[in-house]
Amino acid sequence: MHLAIRQFRQIALMLTLLIAFASSVALAQSGIGNGDSNWITVENVKKQGNTLIFSEVQIEGDGWLVIHPFMNGAPNGDRVVGRTFLESGTNSDVEIEIHKGIAAGEMMIVMLHSDSNKNGEFDFIFIDERNVMDLAVFEGATMIGHAIPAPFSRTNFLNNRLMPAPLHYQSLSTISEQIRARELSPVMLTEHMLERVNRLDADLLSYATVTDELARAQAILAEQEILQCNYRGPLHGVPVALKDLCFTKDVKTMGGLKVRRDFIPGYDATVVERLRNAGAVLLGKLNLTEGALSAYNPDFPIPKNPWGETLWVGVSSSGSGVAVAAGLCFAAIGTDTGGSIRYPSMANGVTGLKPTYGRVSRYGVLPLAESLDHVGPMARSVADVAAMYNAIAGFDDKDETSLATGPVIIPPLIGTELKGLRLGIDRAWFSNGTDTGLLQAIEKAILKFSELGMECVEVQLPQEGPMEYRNLWLPLTGYEAFQAHKDFFPSRAQEYGGYLRAVLEIGMKMSHAEYVEATQKRGEFNKRFNAELKKVDAVICPSGGMVFEVDSAAQYGDAEAMKEVVKHFQGQFTIPADLAGTPTLSLPCGFNDQLQPYVMQLLGNNLAEATLCRIGNAYQSVTQWHLCHPDL
């Protein structure tokens, strides 16, 4: 038996050295692989159940120990069946659990994927015979060489020198192209993101539930499909996350509500179903305020702003904003009823698209106020939110408010020419009570849009102040929220936080006639608002004011503490587009001296998502604010 193994190793060694030589030539020609390799030695390896135990592992340089199936001189299908990260030095009894078995006829190769290797080389530890899991004990053999060419290159995965930013801060669009070109493995990418979530989110608290098993299974499937030339599109193999309002089959969907703490739906929301169909990898569900209103239930954690833990994180899509900004997913689903995509985009410095009402299905999304609720994406760039939007938008016969008219897909965002488009400006409206630094950032953005060819036009939007907008919005929200919570309120009122309970009580006391009157006032406002929007292609304004410091008492809905928070909401910038159902695009546009983000907003006409994204992408093509990220 041992003789056969040694003979096999000699043959395998010869094959591997030949491949390594060819690889080294190719790598040298490409400018990679012209230096010393890291090294690793293993005393022995033994099997215990589905775990391989490596004894006395010595490693020079940090790196990943990764197990691949191996057949005919190359990784078989590039599957990864086990992995662990090692730090430089001696590591005793390193254990790797095998997540997926080795098929008959396959051999096993264990590689060191160097994290710090400046040349991007790999080190091979051993190659052994088929069905390695049937061996109780086998010897290790050290071998140093270059990477074997494989369907997915592992070099780009850990060698961040080749990238302008760390992998987890790359844009969805960049990651997507690398996956499509088989330069980046969805399996390795997902493992990297899960490791980062598990390491950082204990402090950031953006995730309500991490679906690691689901994510791994989806990543494996995505990798197999892509290798079989079954590429589904820009989200295929890309790790994303969901606001915990979206029904996800067999996964808790709590909505920040104590009354739904144990709720596990038996089906997917349409938006989740469409993300699955697009091949996205679902990392988990993201925390939010109670029922998607403005304050948190005392039984739920408050996400921490990655730019500063005492800073506000926005309202209900707070977990989505934090996860995107902190590099814990490449994009996230948010919802917006009074500003809950815009505020978290502003607070966390990310890009957010609130689509036209009815453009993205609300089926399977826990409602706050059905006539005001919008579902949309948050990500690092306009190109990223456009890719997400294209996957989730479109008519859905399961949602009675879903729109069946107008173009859905945002075409490829190419070029920066904006000649012929008109930018609406109402300085009297957006300057009232707005931070001076943010105003200066918006004025610089206006100049940039002008340089890109846009005609700047004065408009006059409805001049209601923050409280007037709130007084128009609150009765509608209270009445509709009470209808949505009838199964639990008031019968389980004691399980609600104070702020949501107060809003539900407003709705409970309203008559239908009062609701009709509020709806009529909304219609009158919408006519005035839309009339000004139609004069231009977009109106520029703040995304929702300026991020501010806030304590936990206010975020948990303490009545007195909330009064101070409400002053900062500046609902005149967010509520109008929810009342009118028109699309908006939030864009980072600078920072203050304390490195707190400035974010502006473009207001668009109904069904004008493509125009907004064209304008926003042109701006991001000539600026770099969206590329900035917290140092985490």
Catalytic one among 320, 340, 381, 543? 340
Between these two residues, 267 and 14, which has the higher pLDDT value?
Answer: 267
pLDDT band at 553 (very low <50, low <70, confident <90, very high): confident
pLDDT for res 171: 95
Residue matched to tokens 């990784």 = 75
pLDDT for res 460: 96
Catalytic one among 23, 316, 381, 586? 316
Burial 96-125, CB ≥16 within 10 A → b, else e: bebbeebeeebbbbbbbbbbebebbbbbbb
pLDDT for res 156: 36
- How far apart CA 125 and CA 145 sit, in angstroms, is 10
Span of 159-173, 525-539, 545-559, 586-600 with lowest mean pLDDT: 159-173
Tell me how far apart the terminal alpha carbons of the chain are, to the nearest angstrom. Answer: 51
- How far apart CA 246 and CA 519 sit, in angstroms, is 27
* Opening angle at CA 618, ends 614 and 621, nearest 5: 135
Residues 6+ apart with CB under 8 A from 333: 240, 241, 242, 243, 246, 271, 275, 320, 375, 376, 377, 378, 388, 392
Cβ-based neighbour number of residue 428 at 10 Å: 11
Residue 212 has pLDDT above 80, yes or no: yes
Q: What is the pTM of this model?
A: 0.76
- Which residue segments constitute the domains of the chain, with CATH numbers given? 2-162 (no CATH), 167-627 (3.90.1300.10)
Q: What is the DSSP letter of 326?
A: T
Residue matched to tokens 């006829």 = 105
> How far is residue 594 CA from its own chain's centroid?
25
Residue 311 has pLDDT above 90, yes or no: yes
- How far apart CA 162 and CA 159 sit, in angstroms, is 6
| Catalytic site includes residue 316 | yes
Residue matched to tokens 């390795």 = 188
- Asked if residue 576 has a cis previous peptide bond (ω within 30° of 0), the answer is no
| pLDDT digit string, tens, across residues 450-486 | 999 999 999 999 988 778 888 999 999 999 999 999 9
Mean pLDDT of 27-50: 50
| Catalytic site includes residue 340 | yes
Mean pLDDT of 329-347: 97
| pLDDT digit string, tens, across residues 516-525 | 999 999 999 9
Q: What is the DSSP letter of 246?
A: B
pLDDT for res 13: 39
Residue 227 has pLDDT above 60, yes or no: yes
Span of 60-69, 302-311, 318-327, 619-628 with lowest mean pLDDT: 60-69
Catalytic one among 243, 258, 285, 354? 243
pLDDT band at 55 (very low <50, low <70, confident <90, very high): confident
Q: Look at residues 230, 346, 245 and name the one whose alpha carbon lies nearest to residue 278.
A: 230
Residue 281 has pLDDT above 60, yes or no: yes
| Catalytic site includes residue 621 | no
Residue 31 has pLDDT above 50, yes or no: no
Q: Where are the alpha helices (DSSP H) in 315-460?
A: 318-325, 342-348, 382-392, 427-431, 436-451
Please give the structure tokens belonging to residue 346.
């502003």
| pLDDT digit string, tens, across residues 402-446 | 999 877 889 999 888 999 999 999 999 999 888 999 999 999 999
Q: Where are the alpha helices (DSSP H) in 282-395?
A: 318-325, 342-348, 382-392
Residue 159 has pLDDT above 60, yes or no: no
β partners of residue 209: 285
Decide if 558 contacts 576 (C-beta within 8 A): no
Residue 536 has pLDDT above 70, yes or no: yes
Q: What is the DSSP letter of 494?
A: G
pLDDT for res 89: 72
Span of 95-104, 168-177, 419-428, 497-506 with lowest mean pLDDT: 95-104
Helix (H, G, I), strand (E, B) or coil at 243: strand
pLDDT for res 112: 54
- How far apart CA 516 and CA 618 sit, in angstroms, is 42
Burial of 262 (0-12, 13-18, 19+ CB in 10 A): exposed
pLDDT for res 155: 36
pLDDT for res 557: 83
Mean pLDDT of 497-510: 96
Please give the structure tokens belonging to residue 411.
């075409």
pLDDT band at 99 (very low <50, low <70, confident <90, very high): low
| pLDDT digit string, tens, across residues 228-240 | 999 999 999 999 9
